[in-house]
Structure formats: structure tokens, C-alpha cells
Structure 1
């Protein structure tokens, strides 16, 4: 009979291996879009990294010029076509609405630009594969801007998971609910609104990282708002005897925490689990625990890590990041597709295709 030794609870937590963002090779970035996430991306790069944002493109001259003036950006382009044609940029960051990610990513790739696409990479797995194929055909770098992946906290978490300190991971339990003001784009079906493409991406990405790309079974239920988008969605993803229980909502705020449940120890990630912050590793008998702390800084203090990763990979001649390869993004979106199919949460473009 073979005797298995139970994983040993660590004496201390490992240090983050995340390189200094300021030491990454400086690239010249062109930002496509001027919305909320574009503002925070540029501010984070300018505050915490060596990256240079040299151009911005919008659908109107006035919007591009105001954005450029606010952030001291050298050139403002009145169209996305003009932005990707700018010979002074090394990489394009696509920060446009979800329903335009496919077209905007292809526009940048076809112009020969390395491309980073804000999450979700695309509306569905088919579109995501199209982007991946376009990047591969041109041997260009391409990545989904899933900023959580690149935070120091998540490097420490990955080291703990890799050490086997949790034993067999049997469950992931997480939620992400947030209140949004009336008129927010998340309530607009034509912009692929609802919780799944925004908040749900973080939940499913966490499960894919911890339990794998391919659940055996997916069960989901959702509700729909009068405006035509989903209000909330509950999901159970099964991987044999292991399960992920997830909930996302745009009806109000929830703790937005996450738990990873193992046979010898568990991890509770403080809310918001997807942002910089802390977590606690605790033995199943609650006899011992270790605490990880880092400043809670939201997007401004975290978006620059992904940009530094992009810069290092492009400077090294690579076309993907091993921390967030396109295959992982596609697997995440494929799970989200199935959840949305089960709940009838189709976006406008998908409804049109289904009806034709």
C-alpha cells in the first residue's frame, strides 16, 4: 500500500515574483477609445510604469483631443483607422465597448500592430478564435487585458496553489455584484450589457485558473431586466467531484469575495477579490493561518502590471504571455458562452445571427 504524505502547511507565504513595472522596456502605446477604463489605464501607466502613451484614437476629433489634453498625450487621432496607421506606436490597447472588440482588434492586427484587448477579448469564443488566428497569421503579440492575472497577489496565490498546501482543491465559491447608476452602458443590450461580460469574466477566469479549462457540466440560472439585459446569473461548474459556485449581479453590491476550498487548507480572498488586496490561508481545522497583505488600490494601482508584462514579452520577441495565453481567454469565454446559452443571455449580434 502506498502512503501519501499530507501537504505541509507553510511556515510563511512566498514573496511575489512580479517584476518592477518601471524596469520593463518602454513601449509606445496607442489607446483606442476614451472611456472609463482607458482613463484608468493611461493614468496607471503614467503613474507607475516606464510605458509611454503617445497617441489616442476616438470616433471624433473633439473627444480624442480632450483625452489627449487631459493626459498630455502627443497625438490625438479622429478615427481608429488613423490611430493604427500612426507609425510612432508599437502596440495598440483596445478599450472600446465590448461589442466592437472583434472589429477593433482585427483593425489593429491587420495594420501590423501588436494588440492588447480589454476584457472580454470578444463577445464569444468564435470571435476570440478569429482574433487569435489573425494574430498568429501575422506573428504579432496579442493578449486579453485581464489585469487581475498580473497582480502581485495573484502570483503569490499561484505559488501557494502550486505548492500543494491546499491538498485537493474541492470547491471555488465566489461572487461579484455591483451597483451601477441608471443610464450606465451595462444596461444597454446593444453594447453587450449585463453582468457576464463584465463581472462574470473575473469569476470564470478564477475558476479556469484553479480548476481547469473544461468543466464536465455547467448549470446556470438567470434573471432579465426590462431594459433587455440580464440582471443576475448564478452558475455551478462541475469538474468531477469538484465544484465552482458563482454568482454575479448588476442589481446591487455583494461582498465580491472568493474562497478556494481544499482538503487540508483553504484560502479566503478579501473583496474585491479581483483587485489588489489581501487573502488568508487557513488550515481546515482553523489551527493555523497565514495572512497576505498588499495596499488596496483598485485600477490605478494595478493596471500597469499587465502593460509591463506586455512590454517584456514584445521586447523578447514573444507573441503571447504565458500568464494569460489566448487559449485561456478562449476557454474562459467558451464557458461564459455556455452559461449565457443556458440562461438565454444572448447579445444583440448573437440574436440577429440566431434569427437569420
Structure 2
């Protein structure tokens, strides 16, 4: 099964809540690679919203989130604020009756995730975490390769995500749920969860920095017949590759494994082949999935269910507990 073409999805009208860098990436993806449009952006600062709108060619800029959510022409809201505020802002959008795509990490912790999911289900609106990796062409292709038995039974998953972000102020701020795990580590955690599900046992260690956030974390997930070895750091740019080991071969996913990229299947019989999944941007695939589900009347996506997003948050809660990482509003 291949990733559906984003342009084949029906059109919806997007509103963007938050005017940061990741919001620009979604706006570009929707505008240039789908049939949908971004009709409004909202920020706490009118000038910031207007500058974003001017740059992205968005017709309406709102100086508050409340104004954005009151716009009756918006079909779906993309929550693009820091993950420390996803819970608050997703609940605001749901209460306003809007369908929601919420950036990852889905929330700060599993309790918040459960509250957001319960609210969306009670309101009957669509909700999905914006874990774009699950929707990318190369991930479709590698899941198919595994399902066909190309590498036999999966027994090992390795993935790392490290970026040099020590100069980024919010990464040091515990009040914004800063640190490596929620911002960067969510990718290898979600990748292992996608392929292997919920682990039977989690072992984690990490290094807390002077402000109380995690600088880096290493994790081992144990399953009945497999193991995942995952690392994340905000203190160095690592290869950001993934390796899936099986009883009959392996899949090597190139840098950067969670973004549009290529992978190579290498079998023990000496044969190999490479899949090239490089495409521009990449956010258009998750945006198109949202549009399809909304038009179908669905309230969640089978590609990333709400229960699965909660499971990933539960895994990261356990990792944080073992590392000793707590945020101020959790103390």
C-alpha cells in the first residue's frame, strides 16, 4: 500500500493557532501540495499574526486565539504552539466545535492527553496528533516491506534523534516542557511504537541540566520477541538514522528517518534494494489525511488513533519518571 497522493484529498479550510516555524511548514504544505487552503492564522500578538499571514499569503490574521476559533469558515484548526500549551489550546478549539490537528508531542503528559481525547469524543469532532512520520511515503513502504516478510521477524529497532539546540531558549525552560524527550525523543519513541506497539518493559536513563530539563535520554524497550534501543539529545546533531533488524535481513533508514527520506533493505541472502521517499516538505501527507477523514465524517484516523497517541504519552511519562524529569505544573 502506497501513501495516498495529497492532492487527491478533498479540500478543507484551515486555521492555524500559533505563528511559529512549524506553523509555517504546515501552511506551506497545505498551500502548495494539497487542494486545501489556509484561511486564517491566530496569535496572541496581532503584529506577529499579520506578519505570518503576509509571508504565507493567508487572507486573515487574528490577534487572539479566541477570534480565530470564532471564525465560522474554518473547518479544522492546527494547534502549533509549544507542547506545554497543547492541552489548553486543543481544549479551546474542541470547545469551539473545531476539528483539530495537534502538533506533537500531543500533550505534556498522558493525563492531559486523555482529557483532550475525552473532550473531542464528547464533542464529536475530529482530532489527530500531528506525528507526520506515520503518513510519509517511505514509512508506508517500509511497513509494507516488513509485512511482506522481506526481513523476516523484526527483533530489533534502533533510532536516534539528536539536534544541537542548546542555543534555543525554550529548550531550557521547564515551564515550557523543555528538554530533549518531548521535543526530539518523541520521534524515536513513536517510531518504535508504530512498529512494535507498547513495550512490556521500559528502561531509561538521562542527564538533567541545570534548569531541570533533560539534555539527553537513552531508552531500552523490551517486547516478547524484540527490543528497541532509542536515544535523544539536544546537545549534538546525531545521524538521526533508524535500523530495523529482522531474522532474514535489515532495513536501514537514512538521515533523517522521521522526515521524507530513503531506506535500503539488505537481506541475508545477499540481495538488496532501495526505496527513495524524498519529497518536498512532507506535512502535506498528514494534512491530506485530516481532510479525508473530516469529509468521511470520521472523528479519528486509523493511521494514528487517539488511543495510540495516549499510549505514546504513557511511554514518555514512564521514561520521565525513571529519568527524574518533572515539569513545574506537575510538582
The question of a shared fold, defined as TM-score above 0.5 by the shorter chain, is answered with yes
Larger Rg: 1
1:114 maps to which residue? 99
2:303 maps to which residue? 323
Mapped partners of 1:303, 1:23: distance in 2:
15
Alignment check: 8 A CA contact 1:112 1:140 kept: yes
Alignment check: 8 A CA contact 2:166 2:234 kept: no
Mapped partners of 1:148, 1:183: distance in 2:
24
Alignment of 1:302 with 2:282, yes or no, is: yes
Mapped partners of 2:94, 2:274: distance in 1:
43
1:84-123 matched pairs, under 5 angstroms: 84-123=69-108
1:341 maps to which residue? 321
Q: Deviations over 1:196-227 (max 9, x none)?
A: 111111111111111112x1111111001123
**Cα distance, 1:181 vs structure 2:** 4.9
Q: TM-score, normalised by structure 1?
A: 0.90
Alignment check: 8 A CA contact 1:275 1:296 kept: no
Mapped partners of 2:98, 2:279: distance in 1:
33
Q: 1:72 aligns with which of 57, 60, 68?
A: 57
1:192 maps to which residue? 177
1:292 maps to which residue? 275
2:237 maps to which residue? 253
Alignment of 1:61 with 2:46, yes or no, is: yes
**Cα distance, 1:271 vs structure 2:** 1.2
1:154-165 matched pairs, under 5 angstroms: 154-165=139-150
Alignment check: 8 A CA contact 1:220 1:342 kept: yes
Mapped partners of 2:140, 2:93: distance in 1:
30
Hey, which bits of structure 1, 4+ residues long, moved more than 3 A? none
Alignment of 1:26 with 2:46, yes or no, is: no
Alignment of 1:267 with 2:254, yes or no, is: no
Alignment check: 8 A CA contact 2:260 2:282 kept: yes
1:127 maps to which residue? 112
Mapped partners of 1:251, 1:92: distance in 2:
33
Distance 1:271 1:62, change over 3 A: same
Q: TM-score, normalised by structure 2?
A: 0.97
1:147 maps to which residue? 132
Mapped partners of 2:228, 2:6: distance in 1:
33
Number of aligned residue pairs? 331
Mapped partners of 2:215, 2:293: distance in 1:
38
**Cα distance, 1:154 vs structure 2:** 0.8
Alignment of 1:242 with 2:226, yes or no, is: yes
- Give the unaligned 5+ runs of structure 1: 1-15, 352-356
2:121 maps to which residue? 136
